[in-house]
Structure 1
């Protein structure tokens, strides 16, 4: 055992992260497949349990068999553990426990943790890591407490409390799983507390851990000096990354709300039959869940084609780095957009809020976006081979949802062939680990090879 641990410790950082996720998936699928985890009469096969374990650890939300109809309370608790491990990562939680026991974590392992959490600094990393775990549980607890005001009266104390805890953890980790049935949260489309608490948990979980602490630090100084007039100045004191993520998150949510309203306002099967308050709640919920959460309060089989298309684009972007969300990431896509704008306007460098961005960072962002595009088309193409009768827009929606670890589906996943479901499993796994492993892999090769310079060549483009 010690020899295996030593070998694991000497592996490159990307392999450590990948193997930790694969180990959790394997153990989780075995536990879920045990009779003591399943409902009486469950017809799920090991493939279904494996698919569920992958989706839970990759915090996606897609399933081949409904969780509520397949797993008993113990199985659902196992699912919550898998979601927690997937949201923060096995390495993160183990290291936190080790630190709490007073043991030291090696510098090599700290680098692994920093890459797993996308933390850009090693300063006070121990405190950062412990704070992430502590505040994660605190926020999930607050969310569960607020949800009990609706679910306890609806289901009673036992089931209502457990449902509130389950939904809070799933929402914060952007997992998209629920233990209610097969239609996600469609039965609560006009319940204010559900349509406020769940989206807020999604936003807080997906915005990135480093954003929390930057906002908290500036909020404390803001309160200390009571500089209520200098709000703009306080905003400028936020880190450049924080400002970029906040601006793009607000822009994406606002844009998604506007487009969803314009497209679905009169659709009788989605927004058309709701009151004004219900329409606003449903629109806000759908706009936020595109940040890779996977919950839904309307039926996606009833959406107009335009809605499916723009939602696919927003799912591709996903959440922010260093959080529980997936996708290509808001800041990554933002840099590519800035790069395109710089090329169109003839600028030599990429700028944001009077700051010139490092060309190396922009190049990596472009690589990630291009790889996500390629992987999406490869996944969709493979699924079209296994399920050629399914309309292409729904296959593309499913592929982007899987790779972006979103979990939204037009009720398609359970009806796909095993071949397509296998493709989806690989896409969920790649989507959860893709940005992390790409960054670390690029970082490992950086400066290790001597730069090669050949005679200049010319290629015509455009």
Structure 2
């Protein structure tokens, strides 16, 4: 075991990350394909299990066969294990194992893990890893506890408790899987406890570990504030990244809610048939789930096409780095937006909160966003070849949902051809690994050796 881990640690960092995820996905598909994992009535093929395992580890939520109709209790426990591994990140789990075995982690490995968890310092790294596992489990347990107040009376003690645990883990890890059926959480569209607990878990999982550790560090000061000035002073003590993520996450949710209210509030079939409180709950839930969670309490096929198109933009952005969410990431897109604003105003430096951001980081953010747009276009183009009879806007929605590891679907995934489903599998895999793999690949290059300067050239643009 030690020899295997030692050999693994010597591989290039991006390859290490890719191999770790691919191995768990493949191993998970084999376990799910075993008769011990499936219901007697299951009609799933190995392709379905592989698709599901990739979606679970990529914490996406898309499926070709529903969990509730395919896997028994043991299989659903395997599903939770795959979601947990995918949510925390295989590289984190592997490093935690290495630390537990007493092996010294090299500086290069530690830097990789810092980037994976979006952590800038190297102090108490072992304790940080342990805290991540401990507090994520605690948050999931608290979420399951509150969900049980509704699930146990509805389904009984056994199924109710397990359903609460399943949904809590899936929500915190932004996975979007449920063990209830084929309609996600639509049966709970007007259930307050579900519409409060699930979104909170999604937000906590999606903002990133470093953000909530930074907030926790100043939690006592936030509790002690007695005026708006005290609050602003304490808020400014948070790290620049934390403030950026909180601000963007908040306004993205608010913006999504406003768009849904304006477009769907009176629309029969989506929100129009619900009570005013039910509409508000559904609006909040859908706005939050766009952060790459994949749950839905309404039928997305009933939404206006305008809403579906706007949803794809939010899904593309996704959650925040160093957490369980996918997508291009809020801070990454924010830097690109800041860069565009800087160029439009004719400025040289990209500034935020009276701080000048390193241009190297801004360029990496631009690379990630451009590659994500390109990969989405390639995936969409292939799907239009294999399923040209399906409207383009729904294929576009499905493609972005897969690349953003969101998991929302307009009831389309199971009906696609195997070719398009294969494209979605690769999309989920790339979408989950893309940003962190690209970022670490760019970060670990020896720039001094490769940097070459020539005579200045000029090319016309625009």
Cα separation, 1, equivalents of 2:60 and 2:387: 21
1:101-116 equivalences under 5 Å are 104-116=104-116
Deviation for aligned residue 1:3? 5.3
Matched with 1:347 is: 347
Cα separation, 2, equivalents of 1:91 and 1:455: 42
Matched with 1:272 is: 272
Q: Deviations over 1:94-131 (max 9, x none)?
A: 43345456654444432332233232222221111111
Cα separation, 1, equivalents of 2:433 and 2:77: 24
Is 8-17 or 136-145 further displaced after alignment? 8-17
Matched with 2:95 is: 95
Cα separation, 1, equivalents of 2:404 and 2:186: 22
Cα separation, 1, equivalents of 2:451 and 2:104: 37
Matched with 2:142 is: 142
SS of residue in 2 equivalent to 1:370: helix
Deviation for aligned residue 1:222? 4.3
SS of residue in 2 equivalent to 1:445: coil
5+ residue gaps, structure 1, are none
Q: Does 1:254 align with 2:254?
A: yes
RMSD of Structure 2 on Structure 1 (CA): 1.6
1:43-442 equivalences under 5 Å are 43-100=43-100, 104-223=104-223, 230-442=230-442
SS of residue in 2 equivalent to 1:441: helix
Cα separation, 1, equivalents of 2:448 and 2:38: 51
Give the aligned length. Answer: 462
Q: Deviations over 1:152-174 (max 9, x none)?
A: 00000000000000000000000
Deviation for aligned residue 1:276? 0.7
Cα separation, 2, equivalents of 1:118 and 1:289: 22
Cα separation, 1, equivalents of 2:75 and 2:222: 45
TM-score (norm 1): 0.97
Matched with 2:456 is: 456
Cα separation, 1, equivalents of 2:102 and 2:444: 30
Q: Deviations over 1:22-57 (max 9, x none)?
A: 110011000000001001121100000000000000
Change in 2 beyond 3 A, CA 1:363/1:212: same
TM-score (norm 2): 0.97
SS of residue in 2 equivalent to 1:120: coil
SS of residue in 1 equivalent to 2:68: helix
Tell whether the 8 Å contact from 2:317 to 2:329 is kept in structure 1 after alignment. yes
5+ residue gaps, structure 2, are none
Is 112-121 or 222-231 further displaced after alignment? 222-231
Is 325-334 or 217-226 further displaced after alignment? 217-226
SS of residue in 1 equivalent to 2:447: coil
Deviation for aligned residue 1:446? 4.1
Q: Which consecutive aligned stretches of 4+ in structure 1 deviate over 3 angstroms post-superposition?
A: 1-6, 97-109, 221-229
Q: Deviations over 1:147-203 (max 9, x none)?
A: 000000000000000000000000000000000000000000000000000000000
Tell whether the 8 Å contact from 1:17 to 1:116 is kept in structure 2 after alignment. no
Q: Does 1:443 align with 2:443?
A: yes
Is 74-83 or 105-114 further displaced after alignment? 105-114
Tell whether the 8 Å contact from 1:118 to 1:436 is kept in structure 2 after alignment. no
Cα separation, 2, equivalents of 1:2 and 1:229: 54
Cα separation, 1, equivalents of 2:438 and 2:293: 23
Deviation for aligned residue 1:230? 1.1
SS of residue in 2 equivalent to 1:50: helix
